[in-house]
Amino acid sequence: MLREHLTFFREFRQRFETTGAIAPSSRFLARAITRYLRQRPTDKPIRVLEIGPGTGAVTNTIVRHLREGDRFDLVELNESFADLLRQRFATEPAWQSAAAFSEVHVQPLQEFQSDAPYDFVISGLPLNNFPVDLVRDIFEHYFRHLSADGVLSYFEYQFVRTLRTRMGSASERVRMQAIESIMSDHCRDHRIRRDWVFVNLPPAWAQHLRRSQK
């Protein structure tokens, strides 16, 4: 855990725009964002895609609910985080049980290719830090990789856009308002649940969307 936090803090200092937080997600947030994965069907294999796993705070919960025959892909842009994830798959018992059907891909989500959609797409990307067009593009790729009845789960820090809209520069207010519009539209059309997670730094929401939800 100490190694995980030290790696996360070092990358936060160097690459805030793609790290987005000062500490890994809490176990409470990890449980919230994996709510639907933890309710997985027991009679068939599943496919899981985690985007932006970081040091593996959420991954640590995911691997405990995977079984032989499943497929688990992790897309992580940060090479330091990817190295740590691979090390955890090699050394930690709960991770080792899923290592044979798991793969860490070091690339942007937009470049990731898969031969089949996923039952669960779980994202830790700090969307509020990104340009508007990138946020729009990322959501398109979320749904592109999601099966017809699959669930997309992602988290965002509570009231960040509200605070940045009120306290930021004029250009920042415009950016935040545009991101709010994109995310609100997707939640209106696809959201099936929102979990409040107060025991996290900072407090967060776990958003759950279904592709077929209208």
Residue range 34-79, pLDDT digits in tens? 999 999 988 899 999 999 999 999 999 999 999 999 999 999 999 9
**Residue 5 confidence class, pLDDT cut points 50, 70, 90:** very low
Q: pLDDT tens-digit profile of 151-186?
A: 999 999 888 888 888 888 999 999 999 999 999 999
Indicate the number of domains in the chain. Answer: 1
Q: Which helix or strand (DSSP H or E) is residue 23 part of?
A: none
Output the pLDDT for position 13. 42
Higher pLDDT, 6 or 67: 67
**CA–CA separation, 56 vs 81, rounded Å?**
8
pLDDT of residue 23: 59
Sign of CA dihedral 47, 50, 55, 57: negative
Q: Which of 5-9, 95-99, 200-204 has the lowest mean pLDDT?
A: 5-9
Angle at 99 between CA 98 and CA 100, to 5 degrees: 95
Q: What is the pLDDT of residues 78-91, one digit of tens each?
A: 999 999 999 999 99
> Region 200-206: what's the mean pLDDT?
90
* Torsion on CA atoms 139, 143, 144, 148, rounded to nearest 10: -170
Residue that is written with structure tokens 């793969």 in the block: 103
Per-residue pLDDT reduced to its tens digit, 178-201: 999 999 999 999 999 999 999 988
Q: How would you write 184-211 as a 3-class SS string?
A: HHHHHHHEEEEEEECCCCCCEEEEEEEC
Give the pLDDT of residue 21. 53
Query: Domain of 123?
Result: 2-210
Say if residue 22's pLDDT is above 80: no
The CATH number of residue 34's host domain is 3.40.50.150
Model confidence, pTM: 0.88
